[in-house]
Amino acid sequence: MRRWLVTGGVGFIGHHLVRALLSRGDGVRVLDDFSDAPYPTRLKRRNAEDLRAHHGPSELDIVEGCVTDRALASRLVEGTDGVLHLAGLAGVRPSFAEPARYARVNVEGTANLLEAVQRKGVPTFVLASSSSVYGNDTPLPAAEQAAAIVPESPYAASKRSAELVVAAMAKKTPGVRCPALRFFTVYGPRQRPEMAITLFLRAILGGAPITVFGDGSMKRDFTHVDDIVRGVLASIDHAPAGYRPYNLGSGAPILLSKLVEAMGHAAGREPVVEHAPVPLGDVDATFADIARARLELGWAPQVALEDGLRSVVTWLRAEGA
Three-state secondary structure string covering the chain:
CCEEEEECCCCHHHHHHHHHHHHCCCEEEEEECCCCCCCCHHHHHHHHHHHHHHCCCCCEEEEECCCCCHHHHHHHHCCCCEEEECCCCCCHHHHCCCHHHHHHHHHHHHHHHHHHHHHHCCCEEEEEEEHHHHCCCCCCCECCCCCCCCCCCHHHHHHHHHHHHHHHHCCCCCCCEEEEEEECCEECCCCCCCCHHHHHHHHHHCCCCEEEECCCCCEECCEEHHHHHHHHHHHHHHCCCEEEEEEECCCCCEEHHHHHHHHHHHHCCCCCEEEECCCCCCCCECCECCHHHHHHHCCCCCCCHHHHHHHHHHHHHHCCC
Is 155 designated active site?
yes
Q: Single out the catalytic residue among 39, 102, 134, 155.
A: 155
Catalytic residues: 155
